Amino acid sequence: MRRLRRAKIVATLGPSSSSPEMMKRLFDAGADVFRINMSHTSHDRMRELVASIRQIEQEVGRPIGILVDLQGPKLRLGRFADGAVTLEKGQTFTLDSDPTPGDKTRIHLPHPEILEALEPGHHLLLDDGKVKLVARSSTPTETVTEVVVGGRMSDRKGVSLPDTTIATSAMTPKDHADLRAALETGCEWIALSFVQRPEDITEATDIIQGRAAVMVKVEKPQAITHLAEIIRLSDALMVARGDLGVEMPIEKVPGLQKQMTRACRRAGKPVIIATQMLESMITQPTPTRAETSDVATAVFEGADAIMLSAESAAGAFPTEAVAMMDSIARNVESDPYYRSILDAQRAEPESTPADAISAAARQVADTVDLAAIICWTSGGTTARRAARERPKTPVIALTPNLDTSRRLTLVWGVHSILAPDAHDLDDMVDRACAFAHDAGFAMDDDRVIISAGVPLRTPGATNMLRIAVVKGGFKS
């Protein structure tokens, strides 16, 4: 099955989409990667979902990526004696370490690490920013705040801290357990939530040990401060606009989205745009014009993937939401302005032989009008370099590693094929041409360009380009 678009689609699984039949329908509609949200999924249920995805993969004969999204630390208030209070603008409200149920003047904050980190002038956002406080004084046991934006506040509402770096791990004991369970299933991608600093990534990678690729969800202002180092240490980025828009002025999020998309493209790391992309399709069969434009903007920017959350997990129209994303992406990619926008954002290649080879492959393919760029790759690096160039020519990744083939389902424009390793250069060329023919990318007498690393089976050593003429596919 060949997708007729370059941007990939990530669909979140949930009550509306967790049956094998529905997952198959989502794949047929255009989903390339399935996301399992561990905030709402037990280990046993995760294993069932992974088994169902693997079964679909066998049926369709195409790799399917799995993204396991860790919950991360959830910071919440304690409980009120009466269940809820109404906070008035300008009043004093205290958060403290006293576990006694709260009232209109105070509440227990069961996170000593927050009280230790807060300083006068820091802002606190309660219940997704519906109520806003500013700290006036703070000690390790209590913080006295002023209510800037009032409203009703009830038990266990979330706390966001846009100005405060908390000296605690981004991975909770639950995340550690979820991570180990996910690695046992053999999933390809692990998403880390509420990352603040580079050290949060290394904690996870020390456990993962290369068994899965690491995706960082950017949803904290502190992560923006360390963006370059976070991109360097991670394998991919998710622009998690929901939480980011709570902790930062919402009008800054579109600019940050473009900044992160372009930074990831320069680094050759996949970037996903997520949250509220087709929000109205949770309850309606069609999106708003603004949502359609939002998805289109991400595709115009050259994002590797666009993601559905509640739309596919809990919405009334999960298949229609995936099909709509597919339709929007295909229409954008056929727009006469699409190519000029992508080309204008292309960064200069790094001064390495492998990057120069990838840039040359794109230039040759454009000049000679080749049918496909074919990358033999072990760990996926050659294919990611080719995708970073955002070529007009389709990119085919041939790899002997199933994990690599599945990871590449997230990468812009890459059609990954599991293929036995080549014996020598002639075998590499012959089978590359045959795969391109049989997958429908090239016909007899079409020309393709092949990139690889020589000696063979040397990860990251892309150093060869060869143009070949296709002479049929595999003989039955």
Confirm if 189 and 65 have CB atoms less than 8 A apart.
yes
Per the listing, tokens 């709570």 go with: 246
User: Is 319 a residue of the active site?
Assistant: no
Catalytic residue among 3, 5, 8, 35: 35
CA distance 9 to 31: 5
Non-local (6+) Cβ contacts of 332 within 8 A are 7, 296, 299, 300, 338
Catalytic residue among 185, 261, 275, 377: 275
User: Is 76 a residue of the active site?
Assistant: yes
User: Is 258 a residue of the active site?
Assistant: no
Non-local (6+) Cβ contacts of 220 within 8 A are 194, 195, 196, 243, 244, 247
Confirm if 204 and 194 have CB atoms less than 8 A apart.
no
Calculate the CA 226 to chain-centre distance: 18
Q: Which two tokens stand for residue 66?
A: 């799995």
Non-local (6+) Cβ contacts of 429 within 8 A are 450, 466, 468
CA angle, residues 368, 418, 38, in degrees to nearest 5: 115
CA distance 383 to 342: 18
Question: What is the per-residue DSSP string for 384-449?
Answer: HHHHHT--SS-EEEEES-HHHHHHGGGSTTEEEEE-PPPSSHHHHHHHHHHHHHHTTS--TT-EEE
Catalytic residue among 47, 76, 211, 266: 76
Catalytic residue among 217, 220, 265, 431: 217
Residue positions annotated with a catalytic role: 35, 76, 217, 275
